[in-house]
Chain A
Amino acid sequence: MGGYGDVKLLNDDGTRLDGRTVDEMRPVEIKAGILPAAQGSAWVKHGLNVAVVAVYGPMEAHPRKIQRQDRAVLDVRYNMAPFSTSDRIRPGFNRRSREISKVTAEALESVVLLERYPRSKIRVEIEILAAEAGTRCVGITAASVALADAGIPMRDMVVGIASGKIQDTVVLDLDKAEDNYGQADLPMGICPNTGELVFLQMDGDLSIEEYNLATEYNYKAAAEIHEIMVAALKARYDGGEA
């Protein structure tokens, strides 16, 4: 979060540089079951972000020291492809990808019924093919769809979405310029059916009123994204419209 106040991110009419209103989300497309080799998979395009997620398992957890006698282990790996940003990213894991893998796993552990598969492991591979701010949220959404596609039992799905603050204005779903030069970023993982919040991070400063407004925007967007997630799963299994 740069917080550079001199960068103009809002037009004079109150719209954003890409023409969206403050509470408007970037377009979202989702497809389920795109990888035949994986037990479950999903492709999500959110604005210019593109994520592909594959789910494998449940499988026997190795090495054995990671096994839990009463539940499965969720092994999430988030990775950005070297070509996903304008500057080439060095391949392999780094501190950021480890952090995002960890918080994504913790968000998904809240909904996946891990106690059904003691001693086993469920592998979730998140690959970001194109990045334009908000990739951790896109990864969470895509992982949810892929887990559902794999037939892993869950209490609910998780939708990842972020709001933030630019030029002292709370806006929904920051794009790259807004993320780089804005004042705050509030990504959330929301269970759309129960309304539970299973993932929350905040970068920058928000007042209580701004936080509440950002949360309201996130919940509204989560409901919209959830409809697209359900439509994608229905298109895969019931021949409906994606």
Chain B
Amino acid sequence: MSQGQNGAELRLVTPGSAIGPASGRRVGTGALIQGDEIIATRVGHVRERHGTVSVDPVASCYMPRSGDLVIGTVIEARSNLWFLDINGPFQSLLPMSLAPWKVEFGGTRDHADINDSLLMRVQEVDEVQNVVATMKGIGLRRLAEGAVLDIDVQHNDALRAEGAALLKRLRDLSDCRLVLADNGRLWADGDAAGIDWLRTLLRAVAAAGRSDRFEALLDAHAANAPNQGDA
């Protein structure tokens, strides 16, 4: 059994496992009601808060939601829009009217070409998962420097918990500017040594595959971090 943030034991369940009776309880993500019982639909840890039972998955893919901050990679540029890979099941569309530049019809490649990384927000997701992104907003831009690293989406909550304490530690130890997107991507800008250290750490975290192991792995890798000063 793992330990949660408050020290309570976390119960790992697998798809189909009975979590408990459904009466008087609501069902959150990663669970559903079958007959009189709540069952898990994913491998994850059971969480019950304010009468809602959910399963925090230990592995999941990114599902876009309106308002998400995402890092997309341009995979196709048409005359008046871009298609971007946002690390989810569906591509995102960025029309030139929602880009921060003055784009001439047919001139999309002058601003963002294939393989460019863009920091965007999800503007709209419809019922058949058509995703429209926007770059109109503070801080949304083309990421011309630094590196985009992959990080499993289930670690986002741990990194942002307690005023993003873990993320701040990562930033201090790596001595890099960081932007954590909601779609399992982390933008890091700094020295090559810092980015390399981050890449090694995230690879170890991915191999471990559990969000509550992130802090332990960060402690283990801290000795090799490029910036030991005020971390």
Residues of A participating in the B interface, judged by any CB pair closer than 8 Å: 33, 36, 39-40, 57-60, 69, 72, 111, 113, 116-120, 148-157, 191-194, 229-230, 233-234, 236-238
Residue from the list B1, B14, B30 in contact with A157, Cβ < 8 A:
B14
Residue from the list A58, A113, A193, A229 in contact with B61, Cβ < 8 A:
A58
Tally of A-B residue pairs with Cβ under 8 A? 96
Q: Is the CB of A194 within 8 A of B34?
A: yes
Closest Cβ of chain B to A202, distance in Å, is 26
Is B32 engaged at the interface, CB distance under 8 Å to the other chain?
yes
Is B12 engaged at the interface, CB distance under 8 Å to the other chain?
yes
Residues of B participating in the A interface, judged by any CB pair closer than 8 Å: 1-2, 12, 14-18, 30, 32, 34, 39, 41-43, 57-61, 63, 88-91, 127-129, 206-207, 209-210
Q: Is the CB of B2 within 8 A of A238?
A: yes
Q: Is the CB of B128 within 8 A of A149?
A: no
Q: What chain B residues lie within 8 Å of A237 (beta carbons)?
A: 12, 43, 58-59, 209-210
Q: Is the CB of A40 within 8 A of B59?
A: yes
Q: What chain B residues lie within 8 Å of A155 (beta carbons)?
A: 15-16, 32, 34, 39, 41
**6 nearest A-B residue pairs (beta carbon):** A156-B16, A58-B89, A151-B59, A193-B16, A120-B89, A154-B15
Among A233, A237, A238, max chain B CB count under 10 A is at A237
Say whether, besides A119-B90, A155-B41, A148 and B129 are in contact (CB < 8 Å).
no
Q: Is the CB of A69 within 8 A of B128?
A: yes
Q: Is the CB of B15 within 8 A of A156?
A: yes
Say whether, besides A39-B61, A153-B41, A237-B210, A59 and B17 are in contact (CB < 8 Å).
no
Q: What chain B residues lie within 8 Å of A58 (beta carbons)?
A: 61, 88-89
Cα–Cα distance between A151 and B57 once the two chains are bound (Å): 7
Closest A residue to B17 using CB positions:
A193
Q: Is the CB of A193 within 8 A of B18?
A: yes
Among A69, A152, A229, max chain B CB count under 10 A is at A152
Closest Cβ of chain A to B31, distance in Å, is 9
Say whether, besides A39-B61, A151-B57, A153-B15, A60 and B42 are in contact (CB < 8 Å).
no
28 pairs from A and B in contact (CB 8 Å cutoff)? A36-B206, A39-B59, A57-B61, A58-B89, A60-B89, A60-B91, A116-B63, A118-B127, A118-B128, A119-B89, A148-B14, A149-B59, A150-B61, A151-B58, A151-B59, A153-B42, A154-B42, A156-B15, A157-B15, A191-B16, A194-B16, A233-B14, A234-B14, A237-B59, A237-B209, A238-B2, A238-B12, A238-B210
